[in-house]
Amino acid sequence: MQHKFITTVLGTLQPNLLQSLAQVSRDIGASWETSKVIKLDGQFVAMMRVMIDVDKEAALKQALEQQFGQLTFVYAEFEHESIHFSAECKITLDCSDRSGLTHDINEILADLDVSVDHQECYRVQVTSLGKTVYSSKMTLRLPENVTIALLISQLETLSDNIRIDVGK
């Protein structure tokens, strides 16, 4: 019988590290159904949805932790999505920066049950304007009961000078 779980791995990025993690997983009979990796300043975090035979799961976790002792591993049960989401949509949001803006954006997304597949936020000082501009690029999945128009109207409440572009 197959079992699915989520593994989160974090630590210092090293050459071929992700390939080595994948190889150990494959050698024990596991497959990564999906994965996300974030790299920042020599550090990384990776999340993988792992599928493996139930009787091999403990061996996989033990092998990973022994062979990669410099990394931190966290495991969580895989829970099937109970909300049905639309196809992904990409949004770029630009406005004047202010304290708590990222928190407020994430609160709106959470209130609407929007699934965030990817989010990058930047703050850039624009000398000619004499202020800092905030930019966020997001890949989202909307629940069936949330339209793009509703999402945009909620996000527009964040600032008077907000610009939101919707891509495909």
Q: For all residues of the chain together, what is the average pLDDT? A: 89
Note the pLDDT of residue 136: 94
Residue 52 has pLDDT above 70, yes or no: yes
Same fold, 2-77 and 85-167: yes
| 165 closest CA partner among 150, 152, 147 | 152
| 165 closest CA partner among 147, 142, 148 | 148
Choice between 167 and 62, residue whose per-residue pLDDT is larger: 62
pLDDT for 23-44, tens place per residue? 999 999 999 988 888 888 999 9
Note the pLDDT of residue 100: 87
Domain locations in the chain? Answer: 2-77, 85-167
The pTM for the full model equals 0.55
Choice between 125 and 87, residue whose per-residue pLDDT is larger: 125
What is the 3 state secondary structure string of 7-44? EEEEEECCCCHHHHHHHHHHHHCCEEEEEEEEEECCEE
Sign, CA dihedral 98-102-104-109, equals positive
Give the mean pLDDT of 3-16: 92
Tell me the CA distances in angstroms from 26 to 17, 20, 55, 65, 66, one per residue in order. Answer: 14, 10, 15, 15, 16
Q: Which CATH superfamily is domain 2-77 in?
A: ACT domain (3.30.70.260)
Give burial (CB, 10 Å; 0-12/13-18/19+) of 144: exposed
Distance of alpha carbon 24 from the chain centroid: 24
pLDDT for 71-107, tens place per residue? 999 999 887 655 567 778 999 999 999 988 988 998 9
Note the pLDDT of residue 88: 82
Q: CATH assignment of 85-167?
A: 3.30.70.260
Note the pLDDT of residue 58: 95
Give the mean pLDDT of 138-157: 90
